[in-house]
Amino acid sequence: MDEQLHGVLLEVAYDGTAFHGWASQPRVRTVQETLFGAVAAMDERASAPRGASRTDAGVHAVAQLVAFDTSHRIPARGWVLGLNRHLPADVAVRSACAVPAGYTPRFAARGKRYRYHLVVDPVRDPRWRERAWRVPDLDVDAMASEGGAAVGTHDFAGFRSARDARETTVRTLARVDVDRGADARALSVVVEGNAFLYNMVRILVGTMVDVGRGRLAKGAVARALDSRNRRDAGTTAPAHGLVLERVDAELPPEVGERWPL
């Protein structure tokens, strides 16, 4: 076996319902630990997987970027098929490619796209139970107009939870749009930015929804940005409506061919 380490970059999708978030924690089920078990089944000396985003408990992903280091020389197709044989039904490797050892998606990420799913319905529908936040009634136009205030570079200190102690709270959002689905009841809020604070997307969506259902006066997003006070923002939207949809990462020049293309 060649002992020289090299990296593998995965694109991973998961249903976050039964996970306590991405990051490994003692005595609870996490995506990172579950994926590490599959990697170890193929190479017991491989490093722990390194993710691009520390998604919360209940949050889903369709394109989480994950890298690990291994001494095994297995083609990308072999990693995808092999890892999926060792993974449960609620997490899957969607693609793989070779990268240099030590490549860390979190440090290489230049932007992310999240999508938050809502269903406007006065009566609960089991099909949306773990996929969207049900709101009985909503002024969608009022809600959508709030998102425009968040686009651009702002201090988002008022849109983070108390668990976020980072000193730098300035972030840039390139997009905050409301998309309507094929189902007339369904809509989603798409948020793209260079980086995010803890619970930032969920608090932004919750504030927009609170305006749309008349719990906050119009202009709430702008007021919370101006004051930088969490009390001026709205509800933290439930985790189960949120999906990490895309991570834009700078790839090294030595990146291998991805499988599947």
Catalytic residue among 56, 69, 121, 210: 56
Contact 221, 209 (CB under 8 A): no
Contact 94, 76 (CB under 8 A): no
Q: Is 165 helix (H, G, I), strand (E, B) or coil?
A: coil
The residues, ordered by sequence, that sit 6+ positions from 106 with a Cβ below 8 Å of its Cβ are: 50, 51, 52, 53
Distance CA 192, CA 109 (A): 13
210 is catalytic: no
Q: Is 171 helix (H, G, I), strand (E, B) or coil?
A: strand
Distance CA 221, CA 204 (A): 7
* DSSP bridge partners of 6: 70
Using CB atoms within 10 Å of the CB of residue 185, give its burial: 0 to 12 exposed, 13 to 18 middle, 19+ buried. Answer: middle
Distance CA 14, CA 61 (A): 5
- Cis before 260 (ω within 30): yes
Which positions are catalytic?
56
